Amino acid sequence: METQVFKVPDSFKKDFKYTFCPGCDHGVAIRLVGEVMDELGIRENTIAATSIGCSVTIYDFLDMDAIEAPHGRALAVATGVKRANPDKFVFTYSGDGDFASIGLAESLHAALRGEAISAICINNTTYGMTGGQLGPTTLLGQVTTTSPTGRNIDYYGYPIKIAEHIALCDGTAFSARVSLDTIANIRKAKQAIKKAFEVQLHGLGFGFVEILSTCPTNWHMSPEQAHERVRNEMMPVFVPGIYKDVTVENKSF
């Protein structure tokens, strides 16, 4: 049998050390971002903004300009970068706690203003880097280090459905939720990321993709079990799909 060679996308740095936990989907998501940048030919003109969390290490892998923001302020920093450099392609890469908890005001208002930025949010229902605490997307009943008896409505409220909230903002051009649990869904995720990038390139407004992801370490699961959890527990609550697409509504491209 012929041996298949893993081809590293041109956008990746020549030398990098893989630092994510086994079974974590960040590696897949970052590869998709790199592939899309290569296909659109925008890497040399790109500036990424990241903030604290596992997502921050994206600039360790991709050969691009990047700026690190304080926790939750990726969209605020990205807004400044884009307004100061309107000819640049600007995107953010965040976790759900960063995007939808401490940074919710910055994220929501960037969408309401229709900032010409593309945002990617990794939803793994926990704070991965800091020890597995309850986050804004933690599912009802889910046990975390700060919800040892499970998330309940009376004390913690409901998990936020990010893609739907961003879709309600008038400045949003594209909002979708995707998953990385199967090859077919990975392909759909790449298409969504590409569309979120394209709406910025066409000057249509804010583009957003929420990616359902695993966190085997903090979920105390094997990679296989973690992907089963994404399918069986996360996807029924956070239903994948396109929640807004102005390119369909006005046939822009």
pLDDT digits (tens, 9 = 90+) for 29-56: 999 999 999 999 999 999 999 988 889 8
Beta bridge partners of 207: 118, 174
The answer to the question of residue 16 being in a domain is no
The answer to the question of residue 128 being in a domain is yes
The residue with tokens 């010409």 is: 116
- What's the average model confidence in pLDDT over 79-94? 98
Torsion 62-66-68-74 (CA) sign: negative
pLDDT at 246 over 80: yes
The answer to the question of residue 187 being in a domain is yes
The number of distinct structural domains making up the chain is: 1
Provide the pLDDT for residue 4.
Answer: 53
The model's pTM: 0.94
The answer to the question of residue 243 being in a domain is yes
Q: φ and ψ at 208, to 5 degrees? A: -140, 140
The answer to the question of residue 63 being in a domain is yes
Q: What is the mean pLDDT of the chain?
A: 93
Give the separation between CA 25 and CA 124, rounded to whole angstroms: 9
- Cα of first residue to Cα of last residue in the chain, in angstroms, is 43
pLDDT-derived band of residue 10, with 50, 70 and 90 as boundaries? confident
The answer to the question of residue 20 being in a domain is no
Full domain range(s) for residue 146: 26-249
Could you give the percent of the chain with pLDDT greater than 70? 95
Beta bridge partners of 37: none
Question: Which strands sit side by side in the sheet containing 172-179, from one edge to the other?
Answer: 65-68, 46-50, 89-95, 118-123, 206-212, 172-179, 241-245
- What's the average model confidence in pLDDT over 118-140? 94
- What's the average model confidence in pLDDT over 169-195? 97
pLDDT-derived band of residue 193, with 50, 70 and 90 as boundaries? very high
The answer to the question of residue 6 being in a domain is no
* Residue 102: half-sphere exposure toward Cβ, Cα within 13 Å: 15
